[in-house]
Structure 1
Amino acid sequence: MTPDLSDLIARHSAPVPRYTSYPTAPHFHAGIGGDTYAGWLRALPRSATISLYLHIPYCDRLCWFCGCHTKHTLRYEPVADYLLALNAEIDWVSHQLAGRGRVTAIHLGGGSPTLLTPADMQALKARLAARFAIDPEVEISIEIDPNDLDDGRYDAMAEFGLTRASIGVQDFDPVVQKAINRLQSFEQTRAVVDAMRARGVHSVNLDLVYGLPFQTEAGIARTIEAALSLAPDRAALFGYAHVPWMKPHQKMIPEAALPDAAARFAQAGLAGELFVAAGMEAVGFDHFARPGDTLAIAARTGRLRRNFQGYTDDAADALIGLGASAIGQLPQGYVQNITPTGDYRKAVLAGGPAIAKGFALDADDRLRAHAIATLLCHFRLAPRDLADFGAAGAALLDDAAALARADADGLTAMEDGVFTVTRRGRPFVRSIAARFDAYLGTGTARHSQAV
């Protein structure tokens, strides 16, 4: 790696948010409560499209790299008790909607949703079908831990209506797996892919991670080669976020074994090159998809979006989060549920909402949210992208032009009046987007590396 590139990485890899929302979650506040959320739900039009996210915050093993809100359990009783509360929240939300909206997407995340017994998964789908109007063409995705599965669970996911399997891989190197407490053989992963396809699941996504302890470029190349042999429809390549001040279990990871910023940059670049060489298209800064996949099509046609699950082709008018810590996004703003499962259960079993905090958007928030999302999805900001915001949009584009003029590193440019993130700048797009964040630096939140 040249000294020039090393210096560039060092200067542009400072911690910044991932911008799955704007403002980001650390700026949510307790001034948004259940009454506000109920009003937002009741304001949705009958024709609204809705995406449901259901959070299952339990795992039967705790992966040390994980940054999710989850807890370890070897007993099923806590999961069963939690599902009673989840059903209560489903009932409360559906009561507020009173028949409004049509569900076009359902996503089960965690934790490990595949912990659910087949009977409980069937009961959960029946509850959703009884409380919401579900589109016949609904897209249903489930985050899958291959270590949880058996034929009964495979069949239950198929009966649930699964259309996209999202399989956690991280890395196939056993040394890396041991260091993150995520032992999972290639054969296990291949068995899941085969079982899903045998049951008619039309799309398979693999989640991979770079920047893990003991990872090398050679090891990353072997993992990508193995992943590609499974012919995934999509792949997500996430940079490991080492945040032990937020996730104490990450202290189990040997920090001395973590690659530095330059090594992370090289790993991400190599992985991306291998995916593209295999015929996948780059989507945003950390996803890849086959040309015929709806995510790739959305990226090519300007319909790509970004939400709390990352890049998506889900164009729903509202994202409703269900479960402890779940985040929702409605036209008026964001809401987040109570995180501790005991407090969550107490709130919803008492017949009330589960909201802990949120954020109501004003005009400047909407402008900046749109600008940041456009940059992250399409690497450009054109006058037409900001036309609906009038003079404020024009002023923000002027600020972008000034940023490009002052950019001595060649990460951005103005091309025919369009603010553009250059090829050189794309790996640093989070840092570039952060220049439009009016809240960054105003709180106490700490973030992960930008590269």
Structure 2
Amino acid sequence: MTTDLIERYSAPVPRYTSYPTAPHFHAGITPDTYARWLGEVPEAATISLYLHIPYCDRLCWFCGCHTKHTLRYEPVTQYLLALYAEIDWVSAELAGRGRVTAIHLGGGSPTMLSAADMAALKARLAERFAIADDAEISIEIDPNDLGEDRFDAMADFGLTRASVGVQDFDPRVQKAINRIQTFEQTQHVIDQVRARGVHSVNVDVLYGLPYQTLASIEVTIAQVLLLRPDRTALFGYAHVPWMKKHQQMIPDAALPDVRLRFAQSQLAAGLLDAGGLHPVGFDHFARASDSLAIADRTGKLRRNFQGYTDDRADLLIGLGASSIGQLPQGYVQNITPTGEYQKAVLAGGGATARGFALSPEDRLHGFAIEALLCRFALTRDELRAFGKAGAALFETARTIAAADEDGLTTADADRFGVTARGRPFVRAIAAKFDTYLAQGAARHSLAV
């Protein structure tokens, strides 16, 4: 790859975990809107729940999540009271409709929850929702805040998949991002959850971090492979200090340039593939037996706010401060500041701050972007469901391929596809189908 090509196609674009993307959400979507949408959920709908725990006992400087640092447990206790109130409100609006097939606890650090609170949270969910016996239950784990009693608590919660944050094992990199975590700590956590029956372990790794080199990444990936993960997410560090002030603790001069970032991503991807974790989409890797890889092979891979997923639920309900929900009618996002969130739900109402109602055109472009990110292809046949607008979009895709002098895309009468050369830049290619991108002033992370 030439430097010019890498620089042109690595320009900042959205990650497209939704379409339209979150910067285009607006305050016209209110708790009343959300209540109406929940009231329209069919009796037999399948539901995925996301619960956001916005607290950490240390603040990692690379983090882009909505979270806050606390060394006291009292704020967590108070927050859970509000979370229970929102659970009650949502379940009342659903009035018994729907069946929960997936639950994901994220943050922040959900493993900060005490064993007693974890049990109480699961009990509240079981009281308010019909949870399928085979529901997929996953939790994001920080090995540093996980007491030994929490392993049994997670097992009692019903944990089936664990997502373990690693980022990088190099001590200098860890110090620069305030994430000190040994290989041995990580191995212990993975051993413990597997001993309790967890069938799938995901490990998160980052490239583009301060002081990372090709040599250090090679060592980190070798250690990751020793952990025998079933999945690995390989994310490019999103340096957005204008949004996340704590990222100002990371010196800009320590970050790799675009060309080195690209080299790091390709090296890590190749090593993971060689180690038995095969590419799924543009930034995930999975063993052939894992459900994510199976979804990829069978054309059932999806993309939502948690990235690539095999979750096929009809709607995603986000619970907690800043959480985003995805319903057939559109998107809803909760109030982000925890204090304001708690005040709203403890008063007995919903916490919706903004969202977006989808138009037929939005559904069409969202489908096209998801298809490209999941399958690197878009066909004329699958767009027929969208009528004349779908046919017109396919012709637009063919025009994009015809004008592509870099060999990143190809098209014939029936199929528009991303070439092997273009796959690292698929986010930039997908952005060509985003009719909102030029309308906003939002700043995004690099595409590679």
Whole-Å Cα distance in 2 between the matches of residues 112 and 385 of structure 1?
Answer: 40
> Which amino acid letter does the alignment assign opposite residue 432 of structure 2?
R
Query: Deviations for 1:214-260, whole angstroms, at most 9, x for unmatched residues?
Result: 00111111111100011100000000000000000000001101001
> Which amino acid letter does the alignment assign opposite residue 177 of structure 2?
I
Deviation at 1:416, TM superposition (A): 5.2
Query: Deviations for 1:104-130, whole angstroms, at most 9, x for unmatched residues?
Result: 000000000000000000000000000
Secondary structure (helix, strand or coil) at the match of 2:433 reads coil
* 1:184 maps to 2:185: no
> Which amino acid letter does the alignment assign opposite residue 373 of structure 1?
E
Whole-Å Cα distance in 2 between the matches of residues 400 and 31 of structure 1?
Answer: 32
Superposed, 1:50-449 pairs within 5 Å as 50-415=47-412, 417-449=414-446
What is the TM-score when the length of structure 1 is the normalising length?
0.99
Secondary structure (helix, strand or coil) at the match of 2:438 reads coil
> Which amino acid letter does the alignment assign opposite residue 337 of structure 1?
N
Deviation at 1:5, TM superposition (A): 1.6
Whole-Å Cα distance in 2 between the matches of residues 267 and 287 of structure 1?
Answer: 15
Secondary structure (helix, strand or coil) at the match of 1:35 reads helix
Secondary structure (helix, strand or coil) at the match of 2:229 reads coil
Deviation at 1:279, TM superposition (A): 1.7
Whole-Å Cα distance in 1 between the matches of residues 382 and 66 of structure 2?
Answer: 35
Of all paired residues, the percent bearing the same amino acid is 72
Deviation at 1:384, TM superposition (A): 2.2
Deviation at 1:150, TM superposition (A): 2.0
> Which amino acid letter does the alignment assign opposite residue 324 of structure 2?
I
Aligned with residue 28 of structure 1, among 21, 25, 47 = 25
Whole-Å Cα distance in 2 between the matches of residues 415 and 113 of structure 1?
Answer: 48
> Which amino acid letter does the alignment assign opposite residue 342 of structure 2?
R
Deviation at 1:417, TM superposition (A): 2.3
Whole-Å Cα distance in 1 between the matches of residues 299 and 212 of structure 2?
Answer: 35
CA RMSD of aligned residues (A): 0.7
Whole-Å Cα distance in 2 between the matches of residues 398 and 281 of structure 1?
Answer: 32
Whole-Å Cα distance in 2 between the matches of residues 119 and 204 of structure 1?
Answer: 24
Whole-Å Cα distance in 2 between the matches of residues 281 and 390 of structure 1?
Answer: 36
* Poorly superposed stretches of 4+, deviation over 4 Å: none
Whole-Å Cα distance in 1 between the matches of residues 69 and 277 of structure 2?
Answer: 36
Whole-Å Cα distance in 2 between the matches of residues 197 and 401 of structure 1?
Answer: 47
Secondary structure (helix, strand or coil) at the match of 1:187 reads helix
Deviation at 1:443, TM superposition (A): 1.2
Whole-Å Cα distance in 2 between the matches of residues 384 and 231 of structure 1?
Answer: 40
| Other-structure match for 1:9 | 6
Secondary structure (helix, strand or coil) at the match of 2:27 reads coil
Whole-Å Cα distance in 2 between the matches of residues 317 and 300 of structure 1?
Answer: 21
> Which amino acid letter does the alignment assign opposite residue 226 of structure 2?
S
Do 2:398 and 2:412's aligned partners in 1 also have CA atoms closer than 8 Å?
no
Q: Which structure 1 residue ranges, 5 or more long, are not aligned?
A: none
Whole-Å Cα distance in 1 between the matches of residues 445 and 324 of structure 2?
Answer: 20
Deviation at 1:415, TM superposition (A): 4.1
Whole-Å Cα distance in 1 between the matches of residues 280 and 184 of structure 2?
Answer: 28
> Which amino acid letter does the alignment assign opposite residue 50 of structure 2?
Y
Deviation at 1:82, TM superposition (A): 0.1
* 1:37 maps to 2:11: no
Query: Deviations for 1:133-164, whole angstroms, at most 9, x for unmatched residues?
Result: 00000000000000011221111001000000
